[in-house]
Amino acid sequence: MLLIPLNRCELCKYMPQAAVGAEIGVSRGEFSRVLLAEANPERLHLIDPWEQPADLLDTSDLPPRAKADNVYESVLAMFASERASGRVVVHRQYSQDALAGFADEYFDWVYIDGAHDEVSVARDLAGCAAKMKPGGLIFGHDYTDRIQGFGVVPAVNRFVRTTDWNLLLLTIEDIPTFVLAKDLEHPRVRMLRSLLYRLVPGMVELRNDPLDSFRHRTHTFEEGGCNIVMSFGRPGLNRPP
Ligand SMILES: C[S@@+](CC[C@H](N)C(=O)[O-])C[C@H]1O[C@@H](n2cnc3c(N)ncnc32)[C@H](O)[C@@H]1O
């Protein structure tokens, strides 16, 4: 497994180019724009039910559904030209329903960032795995144990333990992105690894099986502020001062 000193936007440059991808959990479409620009997909499916208001930005008195409608409409408008050309397809659906409508071996990559509880993440991982091409890559956001109610870490770890998918890499960030690959020797996966080795200085390779020992440790300073460190290994070892 690799730890790579990139953020998720920088990572997008290394995604398979001119491919078929999906983002599960779109919200306002800000990261969809990054995916479109950096991964340059031939087709990008944007999947979100837009049931809940995206965030607290909308302080109007509108009912929640109307706020969600506004966000959905803004995403449709943002990608109007790409939708007209067929390059972007917007699905106002829950991931489980949308994924069921795709053929097997359809996606080159997916980016999972929908519901973050463990059951939902596990369902998205299984649902996507069933639709990936050979050599396909499953990306996902929020591999952290710092956010209450998020179950990305246990869902990903269990998925890796119980299937033939591997955790290929994590970005070194306060909110890491994970990347899973099934066949580590597939040419596309080898190509990604080789690009990263060639172009990204300062990567870290973890060669034993560190997954279940991962903790995001917050170090708070007396003068204020904090630093978040990705920590692996048995508790008590290498405890920072
Ligand atoms: C964290 S936001 C996504 C942010 C976006 N990926 C970005 O980086 O800008 C999570 C989104 O997931 C959506 N969501 C929740 N449950 C979902 C599901 N089952 N399938 C697809 N999307 C879901 C929510 O409506 C919300 O818009």
Tell me the pLDDT tens digit for each residue of 160-195: 999 999 999 999 999 999 999 999 999 999 999 999
Q: Taking the domains of the chain in order of start, what are their residue ranges?
A: 2-211
Q: Among 118, 44, 120, 128, which Cα is nearest to 88's?
A: 44
Instruction: Give the separation between CA 73 and CA 28, rounded to whole angstroms.
Output: 10
Residue 241, pLDDT above cutoff 60: no
Query: What number does the ligand 1 atom closest to the CA of 142 have?
Result: 1
The pLDDT tens digits for 33-46 are 999 999 999 999 99
8 A C-beta contact, residue 153 and residue 145: yes
**DSSP code, position 103:** P
Question: How far from the centroid of its chain's Cα atoms is residue 125's Cα?
Answer: 11
pLDDT in tens, 65-103: 888 999 999 999 999 999 999 999 999 999 999 999 999
> Can you tell me which atom of ligand 1 is nearest the CA of 123?
19
CA 227–ligand 1 middle distance (angstroms): 27
Residue nearest to atom 16 of ligand 1 (CA): 115
At residue 126, φ and ψ (nearest 5 deg) are -65, -40
Q: Check: CB of residue 151 under 8 Å from CB of residue 116.
A: yes
Q: Tokens standing for 68?
A: 């969600």
Report the residue among 8, 24, 26 best suited for mutation to probe ligand 1: largest number of ligand atoms under 8 A from its CB: 26
Which atom of ligand 1 is the closest one to the Cα of 52?
Answer: 25
- State the pLDDT at residue 237: 56
- Looking at the DSSP assignment, which residues form a beta bridge with residue 180? 138, 167
Dist. CA 182–CA 175, nearest whole Å: 23
Q: Give the number of the atom of ligand 1 that is nearest the alpha carbon of residue 30.
A: 9
Pairing mode, strands 204-205 and 2-4: antiparallel
Domain 2-211 homologous superfamily, CATH: Vaccinia Virus protein VP39 (3.40.50.150)
Q: Name the token pair of 209.
A: 């099986």
Pocket of ligand 1 (CB under 6 A): 23-27, 30-31, 47-50, 52, 54, 94-95, 113-115, 120
pLDDT of residue 98: 98
What is the average pLDDT score of the chain?
92
- Tell me how crowded residue 225 is: count the other CB atoms within 10 A of its CB: 8
Cα–Cα distance, 119 to 122 (Å, whole number): 5
Nearest Cα residue to atom 14 of ligand 1: 114
Q: Which two tokens stand for residue 20?
A: 């078929």
Cα(24) to ligand 1 centroid in Å equals 6
Structure tokens at 85: 């050309």
Ligand 1, atom nearest to 25 Cα: 12
